[in-house]
Amino acid sequence: MGIYNLFRRKGCSALCCVVPEDSPTPGFLSATIWDFMGGINTEASPVLTGFNEAAAKLVIPLNGFYLFQEVI
C-alpha cells in the first residue's frame, strides 16, 4: 500500500478517511457528507498527523477503509 484517496468529513475536518487508490469507495463516503481531498502517497509526501499506516494496513483488508482523526 502507500497510495490512498483521502476524504474529510464536512463540518468536522479533523475526521478523515482513507481508501486505497485501487479499491472501491465505500458508500458511506457520499459527497453530501464527505469532501474528497485527493490522493496521498505515504512514501513520497508527509503523512497527516494522526494517520497510522501500520494500523491502516491492518484494518483496510477487513473493511476497505481506515478512519482517523487528524491532530491539528
d(CA 50, CA 25): 21
Domain boundary assignment for the chain: 3-69
The pair phi, psi for residue 57, each rounded to 5°, is: -65, -30
Place of cell 509526501: 45
The predicted structure's pLDDT at residue 44: 76
20-56 pLDDT, tens digit each: 999 999 999 999 999 999 998 888 766 788 889 899 9
